[in-house]
Amino acid sequence: MVQVRYVAIGDSFTEGVGDEVEGVPRGWADLVAQGWADSRGEQVAYANLAIRGKLVQPIVVEQLERALALRPTHLSFNGGGNDMLRPRTPISRIADAFSHVRRRCQEEGVTLILLSGANPSAQLPLPALIQRRGDALSAAVEERIAGDEDIVTAFNWPDTELSDPSYWSADRLHMNTRGHHRVAARVLDALGEDVPENWWSLSEPDRTVRLDRSRYFREHLGPWLKRRLTGSSSGDGREPKYAEWLPVDPR
């Protein structure tokens, strides 16, 4: 069999924020690489260029061609979550990025793994607005890829199970370890690989600290609003965690 060479691009969702192991983000993409190697019983090459806080256009401009230059067999893409939270950003502009990534992967003969983020709207301020824009983005992306059977899809937005607070971290915007495992299970399942059964709903205790309203605003929403007002990003100055191929051996 040809070795799987899997590269992930995106924002905090793909970087793995919320699922930290010894202070380092792990997340669903890392889990997919390991699960893929375990399922096939052979080494998988893995790279992850995702950086937190990125809007969808910078993801495409800064990460896509760099990822394709690695000559992967598979590329996963998710983006637009940060754009979606900006009500003035047209949904069509976000969807254009998905179309561009699709076209470039087709041109390079790379299998595209397309994800949507999970739905956090029920636990965030302005839930109706976030729900409405998330639904619109999901519909727009699905329309862009309709009929393309070569794309592997793992759409997490419609997964109502993932909206449960037990899958989310204290900031209510990033998934915790349970959430990232469920997303990894969905991706592996879409790839036709074996999925560890407990990944669908990890049985380990949920250690997420649930913050009261005032502490949540002070520690998470306030800093986020400050970054919006100052034009800064949580990813400023950060480099990808795996910019080159990392060998992942089966366990």
Q: How many helices (H) does the chain have, and how many strands (E)?
A: 10, 8
pLDDT value of residue 126: 82
pLDDT value of residue 224: 58
Averaged over 72-97, what is the pLDDT?
93
pLDDT value of residue 85: 81
Which among 17, 20, 36, 22 is positioned nearest to 246, based on CA atoms?
Answer: 36
DSSP state letter for 228: H
Mean pLDDT is lowest, of 39-53, 70-84, 130-144, 196-210, for 196-210
pLDDT at 135 over 90: yes
DSSP state letter for 69: T
pLDDT value of residue 173: 87
CA within 13 Å, CB half, 226: 8
Greater model confidence, 1 or 137 = 137
241/251 Cα distance (integer angstroms): 22
pLDDT category of residue 208 using cuts at 50, 70 and 90: low
165/179 Cα distance (integer angstroms): 10
Averaged over 165-191, what is the pLDDT?
93
- Residue 140 — left, alpha, or beta (φ > 0 → left; ψ -120 to 50 → alpha)? alpha
Averaged over 146-175, what is the pLDDT?
92
Element (H, E) at 245: strand 242-248
pLDDT value of residue 234: 67
44/42 Cα distance (integer angstroms): 7
